[in-house]
Amino acid sequence: MRPRRGCCDKLKGGKKSLKDSTLIILAIVLILVIGGGFSLPKIDLGKFNPFSGFATGDSESNKVDVQKPLKFALTDTYAGSALTSKTLKVYASDGSTLLETLTTGSDGTVTTAFTYNSGDIVWIYYESSNDKMWWKKEVPKMNPKDAEALSYNYIKLAAFTIGTYTSDALKYGATTISDGGEYNFTTSGTIQTFTYSLANTGNDNTGLMESYDPIYQMKYTCVVYVTLSGTGYEKIIVYGFDYDYTLGTTHYLATEADCYALTKHKVGNVYKSNGVQDFTFSLDGTGYTAGSDTVTLQISVYMYSDPQYSMNHGGSYGPEAVQIAEHTVTLKA
């Protein structure tokens, strides 16, 4: 007598049958594809979203336009701290029409009196002694939940505390020329290469940051200027600068410094930037006349300056320019 199959045996048999059928179907498909008689439908994986139906964050398409006051949060980007009791000026999109003047509170934030629409362009100006910064901001959209819950639209403003630049040096080879010193083309070389070094001797997390002034339409950056003036200044050829122009009886040369290189940025125990930068240039005094030519070479470093502005405004370093270093040398032969 044949033994009766239990329900478990039937299930096992069914699974085996299903497995065998699946393998057979897969084998047939592979044969058709490899043989060229059948092509699988193309699937656009670029449109495939495995998270469809789930929240994927605050994408721009999910945000909504709002009309709200702006809440600015002013921070020292290098020190990572709030800047309190500081004045902010809000300008319209033209960069010159003043809309509001605000003062940050004890947490570094302040809210505008006026409302602003998403998409509006505003300029914000910050000045505290020699710390100056401009921002151009587009009023953002908000995610729906925040738009419903908050009475303001939040904007971060990253500023800085200017460094101290009392240490500079001018060298050729191993020889240092002190401020107020001399260089003689006859005794030290008709053609010579010099290195000017500038260091931030201030506190950690002080330094410089670039921005753009919409009122005077000029960059706010750090610029190393060299001027040559005096009898025979036009006989000296200078190499190594990005800008070269003569105004009246003064020869100007300029190059933009690296603001971050001149910042002492310390994170934990590690300096991301040590606040030092070197500038190399060469002088050719071949045409200099011994005994009759005397030229003053002056190195001036200015923050909130723009060489292009200087070229177009009679050598002015800028309405808001701040001198952070200076070194003068007399050239003789």
The residues, ordered by sequence, that sit 6+ positions from 40 with a Cβ below 8 Å of its Cβ are: 33
Of 123, 126, 114, 133, give the one whose Cα is nearest residue 88.
126
3-state secondary structure of 282: strand
Do residues 216 and 288 make contact, with C-beta atoms less than 8 angstroms apart? no
**pLDDT for 291:** 84
Residue 85 φ/ψ region, left for φ over 0, alpha for ψ in the -120 to 50 degree band, beta for the rest = left
Q: Which two tokens stand for residue 20?
A: 């065998």
Domains of the chain: 60-159 (2.60.40.180), 167-332 (2.60.40)
**pLDDT for 25:** 58
**pLDDT for 267:** 97
**pLDDT for 171:** 98
Do residues 212 and 220 make contact, with C-beta atoms less than 8 angstroms apart? yes
**pLDDT for 32:** 54
- Weakly modelled stretches of the chain, pLDDT under 50: 1-18, 33, 40-56
Q: Which two tokens stand for residue 207?
A: 């330094």
**pLDDT for 316:** 98
pTM of the model: 0.81
**pLDDT for 251:** 98
**pLDDT for 199:** 99
Q: Which two tokens stand for residue 273?
A: 């930037």
Q: Which 8-state DSSP code applies to residue 162?
A: B
**pLDDT for 290:** 85
How far apart are the C-alpha atoms of 239 and 173, rounded to whole Å?
Answer: 17
**pLDDT for 28:** 56
Helix locations, the chain, DSSP H: 7-35, 144-149, 185-188, 307-312
**pLDDT for 47:** 41
